[in-house]
Amino acid sequence: MSSNEELQETNTESRFEFKKEEASAFKSEKGLDDETIRVISEDKDEPDWMLQRRLRALKQFQEMPMPTDWPEAPDLSEIDIDEIVPYIRPDIDVRGGVDDWTDLPDDIKDTFDKLGIPEAEKNALSGVGAQYESEIVYQNMQEQWEEKGVIFCDMDKAVQEHEDLVKEYFMTKAVPPSDNKFAALHGAIWSGGSFVYVPEDTTVEMPIQAYFRMNSEGMGQFEHTLIIAEENSEVHYIEGCSAPKYSAFNLHSGGVEVFVKEDAHVQYSTVQNWSKSTYNLNTKRAIAEKGGRMEWISGSMGSKATMLYPSTILKGRGASDNHITIAFAGEGQDIDTGAKVYHNAPETKSTIESKSISKDGGRTNYRGLVHIADGAENSSTAVECDALMFDNESTSDTMPYMEINESKVDVAHEATVGKIGDEDIFYLQSRGLDDDDAKQMIVSGFIEPITEELPIEYAVELNRLVELEMEGSLG
């Protein structure tokens, strides 16, 4: 390896593994009860209706069982909610964040400088938001989109300034707290996240980006993202996530709700690099109206265990949904991901393409559901699951489940599982590549369907993260 390559590897690794001393303006106690919820809501100066929703969600969380009855589900027994700090407000003067990068405290600014957030903004993204611990600390939207009525702000600000929209959509239609135990947990202690509203007939031509960073040991991050794309609008939202490695486990349980109105188009792209001391338990769901188009692009690196199944309800005639996902599991990791699609209207269409890579005893699993309702005639779905394993100790499972209640439909499913072939390695070595470079080239070709859907800077980052995972360089 050349000195330049070694420097690049060190710089890339340090972008995610560095840690800052914890400095907060407000930090809740560990554990979860009514008083904790009231303290969080009071610190945010929320309206009473939001407090009441939080309290109802907490009650649901307390009454619901852990998801332990799923076949081959990741082990969540080490999660102790009573040992999680659910809310940390970073030490920043302006609630809701600042809109000038130079106004951030030096330690927070340095963190996001290392993660490349200013560079992302300089690359002409439509808007950038950055969350540190439980709160958004920086938010900026290009004036040309604000003038067209596009709203991009943090969720706490949206509760105050766009109350009617938030009250109508927040965890009432797409992801109610009753959906699952961790959705209920999220509804009780959510904090931060992004609110995006795109008016009718408006195309946001460049991506909107948000970055979520957990810095403190033993904390939970529970950001909420709410996207509303009105009729005939279009937007691409990209999120990145990271956390350094600690001895205590961290918990990430975010919530995403996307509303794709008639003939609108939303693409939601995620590049996650949680540390291997983080449990990643997200709930993401979209509702697509007539002619609406939803796309999920996901890259899941890191975490001790991940349970993530973005889902779309195809509610209107001709609505469509597309999933492209990659999961990578190394030693000690259990990455359980997939997709869910509900065809509830005629002439709806979905495609799911899942790629997984496992090495050093890691486990990946595709867990999916496609439901085609009675009356959803002339609908179609195609599911393709491909798994690549590096060794005999690693495992990869595929658990597709299809509920077809309509006869006039087109359904296709294909799954492949295999190891990197010695003959492939030998061929590339005969062309001058060493063993590591040959494997990296094979993996790069394997994940190309995902990287080609991302902006170039994210595609480069995803490829580099996979390369570091293969080398065991990320913790």
Residue 6 is predicted with a pLDDT of 45
Cβ(120)–Cβ(129) under 8 Å?
Answer: no
User: Is there a contact between 386 and 354 (Cβ–Cβ < 8 Å)?
Assistant: yes
- Condensed to tens digits (0 to 9), the pLDDT of residues 344-372 reads 999 999 999 998 888 889 999 999 999 99
By CB neighbour count within 10 A (0-12 exposed, 13-18 middle, 19+ buried), where does 342 fall?
Answer: buried
The amino acid present at 184, given as its one-letter code, is A
pLDDT at 284 over 80: yes
Average pLDDT, the chain: 79
Q: Percentage of the chain surpassing pLDDT 70?
A: 68
| Structure confidence at residue 110 (pLDDT) | 54
90 against 409, higher pLDDT: 409
State pLDDT tens for residues 63-72: 998 877 788 8
Least confident interval from 85-89, 150-154, 462-466:
462-466
CB 373 within 8 A of CB 408: no
Whole-number pLDDT of residue 187:
97
24 vs 285: which has the higher pLDDT: 285
Angle, in degrees to the nearest 10, between helices 34-43 and 48-63: 150
Q: Which of 52-56, 209-213, 410-414 has the lowest mean pLDDT?
A: 209-213
Q: How many angstroms separate the Cα of 341 from the Cα of each of 229, 430, 431?
A: 19, 44, 43
Q: Which of 24-38, 200-214, 421-435 has the lowest mean pLDDT?
A: 421-435
What average pLDDT does the segment 49-69 reach? 93
Q: What is the pLDDT of residue 251?
A: 86
Neighbours of 80 (CB within 10 A): 13
Give the SS3 label for residue 244: coil
The pLDDT tens digits for 5-47 are: 444 444 444 444 434 444 444 455 677 889 989 988 998 899 9
Burial class (CB in 10 A: 0-12, 13-18, 19+), 47: middle
Of 470 and 331, the structure prediction assigns the larger pLDDT to 331
406 band by pLDDT with thresholds 50, 70 and 90? very high
Q: Which of 341, 405, 411, 329 is nearest to 369 (CA)?
A: 341
**Residue 235: CB partners within 8 Å, gap ≥ 6?**
196, 198, 203, 204, 208, 227, 229, 265, 266, 267
pTM confidence score = 0.83
The pLDDT assigned to 426 comes to 60
The pLDDT > 90 percentage for the chain reads 41
Q: What is the pLDDT of residue 270?
A: 84
Q: What is the pLDDT of residue 83?
A: 82
